[in-house]
């Protein structure tokens, strides 16, 4: 299908047309013209007035559940939700059953996700069965198509194991993406340690648990001169530690979940388990520091931290509810609510995630392969059962009006309009 998008504002830091209002023509999967264009009889015309055209979003931190937990989400429903959220690429975590810890599971994901508008790329486990004891088949997985390695929401507790893993992947330019929590400090805490945790009568999880783990990983990365990526940071102290490490030349990068840029711990006062996430929601001062960290470049990227669950895992007492939000469709509205402009959204949600993983970065230029998202930053829409494309519904934003609507996505010569 040939396509003409008219009157759209381009947001792409790598494009000569950045921040310009243009018409964009796509023919057979390639951007063939950008400028003031006249429609041809053979093409579909989309009115982009008031909308933004960005390189397609890419999610660094997505749980699908396939294989083994398809009742939560499968590749089909995840990619449908991803498209509606503006994502043309997903990096999927290995916390499946079986765990993605060998080339067989990597090849399963690669083959199951073929011919999709959304690129689905597997992240292999660092340790066998995510147990943090025996190293998984890292090199074999990379050869089969794994783009990085992570134990998902499980931190690597053993310092020696983490050191050996960093040293090993350095030999073939692999990247470890680690979750920042010192379990011996965190214990079984489920909410941020603060006045709110006292008010709720629940044991608090101190920022110290996150920051100690980040400090350890920074020390090890510096010792081995190897890169490490910290996933889902949530505290002001974490921002400060990573900022200093970058200044010192350590090869450290990090991301933040979109909900940690908006939601704060006060939302837990009604014990709504849909706000139960890991790391926990923090204080307003942490949110302010995270947003500042994004704007100054300390935080490299934003992720969805998509964690779908069946109703029986969330519609229960807070203390026994599972962690996580089904989040692919709500990232953009949350970033707009947090005050990020179109340029920063493109950088943190489309360009930098791919740069961190060494993937090809889409660019809005004539002659480039078409991989982009068009969204209206001021359009309101109702996120409800009818508009939710995920198999799960564990979101505190369900049945609420959101601002920031994805209008269409294009990738792999495929178009999806909303």
Residues 233-287 have pLDDT tens digits of 999 999 999 999 999 999 999 999 999 999 999 999 999 999 999 999 999 999 9
Place of tokens 């508009």: 387
Mean pLDDT across the chain, nearest whole number?
97
pTM above 0.95, yes or no: yes
CATH label, 56-357, candidates 3.40.640.10, 3.30.420.40, 3.20.20.140, 3.40.50.1970: 3.20.20.140
Cα–Cα separations (whole angstroms), residue 407 to 4, 50, 199? 14, 11, 43
Q: Where are the domains of the chain?
A: 3-52+366-417, 56-357
Q: What is the 8-class DSSP label of residue 350?
A: I
Per-residue model confidence as pLDDT tens digits over 346-377: 999 999 999 999 999 999 999 999 999 999 99
- On the question of pLDDT at 127 being above 80, the answer is yes
On whether the CB atoms of residues 151 and 126 are closer than 8 A, the answer is: yes
In 318-388, alpha helices (H): 331-337, 342-346, 352-357
pLDDT above 80 for 1:
no
* Dihedral angle of Cα 194, 200, 201, 204, to the nearest 10 degrees: -30
**DSSP reduced 3-state for 22:** strand
Give 3-52+366-417's CATH code, choosing from 2.40.30.30, 3.20.20.150, 3.30.2270.10, 2.30.40.10. 2.30.40.10
pLDDT classification of 160: cutoffs 50, 70, 90 = very high
216 pLDDT tier (thresholds 50, 70, 90): very high
Residue 21 neighbours by CB distance under 10 Å: 13
Q: Could you tell me which residues are beta bridge partners of residue 205?
A: 192
User: Quick one: average pLDDT of 40-52?
Assistant: 95
Task: Determine the Cα–Cα distance for residues 407 and 416; give it in Å rounded to an integer.
Answer: 9
Share of the chain above pLDDT 70, in %: 100
Q: Is the pLDDT of residue 180 over 80?
A: yes
Find where tokens 């950008």 sit.
Answer: 34
pLDDT at residue number 340: 98
- 414-417/119-122 β-pairing: unpaired
**C-alpha closest to that of 216 among 128, 155, 138:** 155
Instruction: Please give the average per-residue pLDDT across 101-111, as a whole number.
Output: 97
Task: Calculate mean pLDDT across residues 66-80.
Answer: 96
Average pLDDT over residues 146-174: 97
User: To the nearest whole percent, how much of the chain has pLDDT over 90?
Assistant: 98
DSSP helix, strand, coil percent of the chain (3-state; round to 5): 35, 25, 45
Quick: pLDDT tens for 377-405. 999 999 999 999 999 999 999 999 999 99
φ, ψ for residue 178 (rounded to 5)? -115, 150
State residue 147's pLDDT score: 98
């Amino acid at each position: 299908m040939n396509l003409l998008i008219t009157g759209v504002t381009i947001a792409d830091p790598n494009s000569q047309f950045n921040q310009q209002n243009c018409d964009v023509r796509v023919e057979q999967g390639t951007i063939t013209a950008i400028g003031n264009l006249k429609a041809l009889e053979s093409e579909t015309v989309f009115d982009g007035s008031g909308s933004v055209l960005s390189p397609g979003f890419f999610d660094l931190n997505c749980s699908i559940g396939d294989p083994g937990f398809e009742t939560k989400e499968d590749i089909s429903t995840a990619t449908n939700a991803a498209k509606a959220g503006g994502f043309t690429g997903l990096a999927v975590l290995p916390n499946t059953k079986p765990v993605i810890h060998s080339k067989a599971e990597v090849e399963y994901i690669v083959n199951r996700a073929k011919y999709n508008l959304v690129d689905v790329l597997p992240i292999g486990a660092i340790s066998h069965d995510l147990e943090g004891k025996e190293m998984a088949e890292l090199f074999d997985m990379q050869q089969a198509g794994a783009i990085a390695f992570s134990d998902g929401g499980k931190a690597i507790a053993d310092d020696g194991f983490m050191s050996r893993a960093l040293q090993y992947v350095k030999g073939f330019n692999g990247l470890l993406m680690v979750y920042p929590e010192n379990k011996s400090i965190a214990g079984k805490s489920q909410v941020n340690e603060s006045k709110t945790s006292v008010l709720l009568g629940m044991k608090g999880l101190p920022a110290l648990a996150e920051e100690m783990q980040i400090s350890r990983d920074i020390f090890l990365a510096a010792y081995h001169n190897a890169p490490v990526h910290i996933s889902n940071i949530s505290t002001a102290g974490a921002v400060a530690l990573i900022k200093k490490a970058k200044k010192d030349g350590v090869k450290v990068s990090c991301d933040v979940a979109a909900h940690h840029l908006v939601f704060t711990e006060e939302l837990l006062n009604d014990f709504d388990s849909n706000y139960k996430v890991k790391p926990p929601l923090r204080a307003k001062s942490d949110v302010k520091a995270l947003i500042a960290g994004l704007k100054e470049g300390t935080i490299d990227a934003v992720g969805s931290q998509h964690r779908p669950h069946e109703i029986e895992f969330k519609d229960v007492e807070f203390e026994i509810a599972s962690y996580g939000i089904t989040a692919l469709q709500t990232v953009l509205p949350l970033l707009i609510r947090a005050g990020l402009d179109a340029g920063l959204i493109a950088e943190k949600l489309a360009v930098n995630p791919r740069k961190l993983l060494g993937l090809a970065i889409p660019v809005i230029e004539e002659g480039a392969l078409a991989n982009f998202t068009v969204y209206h930053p001021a359009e309101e829409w109702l996120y409800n059962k009818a508009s939710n494309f995920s198999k799960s519904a564990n979101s505190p934003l369900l049945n609420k009006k959101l601002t920031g609507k994805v209008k269409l996505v294009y990738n792999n010569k495929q178009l999806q309009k909303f």
